[in-house]
Amino acid sequence: VTSSPLTPVTLNDVAREAGVSLATASRSLNGGNRRVNDAYRERVMAAAAKLNYTPNLSAQAMAKGASSIVALVVSDIADPYFSSLAAGVISGAEKAGLIVTTAVTHGDSERELELVRALRGQRPRAIVLSGSRYAGEGSQKALIAELKAFESTGGRVVLITQREMPFATVLFDNYNGARSLAVTLVQQGYRRFAALAGVDTLMTSRDRLSGFMDGLEEHGISVDRQHIITTDFTREGGYRAAIELISRDIADVELVFAVNDVMAIGAMSAFRDSGRSLPDSIAVAGYDDISTARDMTPALTTVRIPLEDAGARAFELAFASEPRNDDLITVKGTVVIRESTPHR
Amino acid sequence: VTSSPLTPVTLNDVAREAGVSLATASRSLNGGNRRVNDAYRERVMAAAAKLNYTPNLSAQAMAKGASSIVALVVSDIADPYFSSLAAGVISGAEKAGLIVTTAVTHGDSERELELVRALRGQRPRAIVLSGSRYAGEGSQKALIAELKAFESTGGRVVLITQREMPFATVLFDNYNGARSLAVTLVQQGYRRFAALAGVDTLMTSRDRLSGFMDGLEEHGISVDRQHIITTDFTREGGYRAAIELISRDIADVELVFAVNDVMAIGAMSAFRDSGRSLPDSIAVAGYDDISTARDMTPALTTVRIPLEDAGARAFELAFASEPRNDDLITVKGTVVIRESTPHR
DNA sequence: CTGTTAGCGCTTTCAA
DNA sequence: TTGAAAGCGCTAACAG
């Protein structure tokens, strides 16, 4: 097959090759409703195959006024939490014949806003946002305005984990998950706790922490302020916080709850590096159940949230037949007790 | 601001609002070379801001015959290996103002081919492919043809890790990395090894295995066939293979080398579940240095490859000023000895 | 420097 | 059913 270089094959080429009109070629290749003579149709298909034709998605998007794109915004695609979510969104989208564009904010809200604007340019069918949105942030208003503008032109917005925004949302029941975890741990005999949390404006962190604390309180247990450390929401943050905790005298602390698994894993390494054996000298629990949690030694007690499934549901929410902005899917967590928190 | 619903603001709207021609509006907003009166320019900017205008990327792509998209194809975005690579590609692309679309093959070559075709429809500037390509596969020809067709229309193709394909490639020096690892382990006193590998047609696996074997051979050590297990390239594969290994009598095996970290981690869990303490009863080494490797207990000995950096370099390769198909970047690995392989 | 105009590739009325 | 033709929103000659 010889085609002129640097110029992709167009539908026109296919039509000419098949000896039919452009319209017929278009209808054969796409026109859902078979409004075209079989003989023609086959000739078109053959020509398309012969020329190795690929429809220009931009042109299609222009002509029909709707793209086949879903935009996904996450904080950090290398983080297993977000990459699992992304896997779910992508698998849903691919099943529906849609393409996913991925952008990364690194937790920066300014950047998030910029990205949403840029992605809007693609005129995606939906934007799925799963950053770590902070409560009551100034830029929140601007983001909402931007997303509202997107919706007003027919786009769909779905949030994962960001509460109190006027859009469809997939929510993890962080409060109750953490609460159940606390209750279970108390039942296991733990009484004295410490906690590693993200900044208080980070909803996910706040909900998990307060759920955990409330669970303890039900059993009359409270946690010393000294034993709650605020740190980055990352492995390194967990590591540093654990070191800090050690320096604050934790002789009587039996268990450290980190608001996510990567922090818990960092903390475990810190404890070990400081010469403490796990789980004997101190127990650790996390949240998320990322895939390596069970491979830790001791295997990490945590709350499992079905991340990939949640990503898939976010996608579905975006394409629900009757979408509403108060759509809210709450995904429950399941307490998973492992060796990092043995019975006392 | 009231704009008609369901119809995004167009450049025309902006031009009208600013009282200038369409061309002037276009030049103000984009036209790299400032060929426009400052007064006009400002009016256009103001109008654009007021109307919250976002350029339609599809339209731009059509008009200039070039999109702002980079397509990325990976086997599994939830796998830390690929998500780190993706993070690198995405960060490079975002710096360059490009958008990344991500597709997932799940290791299926048919699907990979389909995806490449579909992605071609976006007329991306480049396609970055980082699946687990198998050597000498039938579908390889079709894939090459498809990618060549893409190149012939001005697109760039960059492969990560797939050797012997006529495209620019970022290669990991798997053979030598594994060889160094073997030599180092022998120096540490190990003599009797077992290995967990992927199918032999999987290049990455093959190279790592043969490098490791050759490294051992330099020291006159060979590995019993019984002690080389072929399995899936995943955590589960590693787990199953370790169980299988145990059933084959490994009383004399001192160290198990898994061709990647997730397999090694699976194997560690299997050994532990079978009541073997690590690293006393058996040592384990992996490859990749995914982020959780150092958080294992014992911390996992492995070969570090700078995944995110490699992703970024793949992106750069795609936009090299003078791209050539025989461009080849080889990324070296660094042996990282940790507690999973103590001195004997 | 600015405006007019001709497309980019495709879908979709509208006639035939 | 089929074909001709009018756009979709934008850029890039081409004239003024």
pLDDT at B135 over 90: no
- How much is the pLDDT for A200? 85
- How much is the pLDDT for B34? 66
Q: Which of B3, B58, B74, B152 to mutate to test the interface with A (most CBs of A within 10 A)?
A: B58
CB-count burial class (<10 Å; 0-12, 13-18, 19+) for B243: middle
- DSSP annotation string for A227-292: GEEE--SSHHHHHHHHHHHHHT--TT--EEEESSHHHHHHHHHHHHHTT--TTTT-EEE-SB--GG
Residue contact B77–A76, C-beta within 8 A: no
What would the mean pLDDT of B89-114 be, rounded to a whole number?
Answer: 94
State the alpha helices, DSSP H only, in A102-202: 109-120, 139-152, 174-187
Beta bridge mates, B122: none
Chain D footprint positions (protein CB, under 7 Å): 1-5, 7-13
Sign of CA dihedral B48, A70, A7, B129: positive
> Could you tell me how many residues make up chain A?
344
Dist CA B21 CA B13 (whole Å): 10
pLDDT at B134 over 70: no
Dist CA B190 CA B283 (whole Å): 9
Helix axes A22-29, A38-51, angle to 10 degrees: 90
Residues of chain B with C-beta less than 8 angstroms from the C-beta of A61: 58
- DSSP annotation string for B70-105: EEEEES-TTSHHHHHHHHHHHHHHHHTT-EEEEEE-
Q: Number of H helices and number of E strands within chain B? A: 12, 12
- How much is the pLDDT for B35? 79
Residue contact A268–B295, C-beta within 8 A: yes
pLDDT in tens, B47-75: 999 999 999 999 999 999 999 999 999 99
Residue B63 CA distance to nucleotide C7 C1' (Å): 8
Closest residue of chain B to A66, computed from CA coordinates:
B58
- How much is the pLDDT for B29? 93
Give the whole-number percent of chain B exceeding pLDDT 70.
95
For B342, phi then psi, to 5°, come to: -70, 160
b or e along B158-178 (b: 16 or more beta carbons within 10 Å of the residue's beta carbon)?
A: bbbbbeebebbbbbbbbbbbb
pLDDT in tens, B303-331: 999 999 999 999 999 998 776 767 899 99
Residue B23 CA distance to nucleotide D15 C1' (Å): 14
Q: What average pLDDT is seen over chain B?
A: 92
pTM of the shown model: 0.92
Q: What is the DSSP letter of B62?
A: H
- How much is the pLDDT for A240? 97
**Terminal Cα distance for chain A, rounded:** 74
Residue contact A80–B78, C-beta within 8 A: yes
Dist CA B116 CA B125 (whole Å): 13
Instruction: Return the amino acid letter for B33.
Output: N
Residues of chain A with C-beta less than 8 angstroms from the C-beta of B148: none
Q: How many CB atoms lie within 10 A of CB A136?
A: 8
For A331, phi then psi, to 5°, come to: -105, 125
Structure token digits, residue A68: 């086949």
For residue B299, CA distances in Å to A168, B246, B258, B292 come to 42, 22, 15, 9
Closest residue of chain A to B266, computed from CA coordinates:
A295
Cis peptide before B298 (omega within 30 of 0): yes
Q: Which of B62, B83, B111, B265 to mutate to test the interface with A (most CBs of A within 10 A)?
A: B83
CB-hemisphere CA count at 13 Å for A216?
19
Inter-chain contacts counted by CB atoms under 8 A, chains A and B: 169
CB of B107 within 7 Å of some strand D atom: no
Residues of chain A with C-beta less than 8 angstroms from the C-beta of B297: 268, 272, 278, 296-298
Shortest CA to C1' contact from A13: nucleotide? C9
CB-count burial class (<10 Å; 0-12, 13-18, 19+) for B192: middle
Closest residue of chain B to A145, computed from CA coordinates:
B52
Dist CA B273 CA A297 (whole Å): 11
Q: Which of B235, B189, B186 is nearest to B213 (CA)?
A: B186
Distance from CA of A189 to the nearest CA of B (A): 25
Give the whole-number percent of chain B exceeding pLDDT 90.
83
Residues of chain A with C-beta less than 8 angstroms from the C-beta of B59: 58, 62
Residues of chain A with C-beta less than 8 angstroms from the C-beta of B120: 54
- How much is the pLDDT for B33? 67
Q: Which of A237, A193, A204, A168 is nearest to A303 (CA)?
A: A204
What residue ranges of chain A have pLDDT lower than 50? 1-4
For B35, phi then psi, to 5°, come to: -105, 35
- How much is the pLDDT for B3? 45
H-helix or E-strand spanning residue A205: helix A203-217
Q: How far is CA A245 from the centre of its chain?
A: 30
Instruction: Tell me if A257 sits within 8 A of A250, measured CB to CB.
Output: no
Q: With bands split at pLDDT 50, 70 and 90, how would you rate the model's confidence at B2? A: very low
Residue contact A119–B99, C-beta within 8 A: yes
Residue B148 CA distance to nucleotide C12 C1' (Å): 34
pLDDT at B45 over 90: yes
H-helix or E-strand spanning residue B150: helix B139-152
Instruction: Tell me if B132 sits within 8 A of B204, measured CB to CB.
Output: yes
- How much is the pLDDT for A151? 94
Shortest CA to C1' contact from B21: nucleotide? C3
pLDDT at B336 over 90: yes
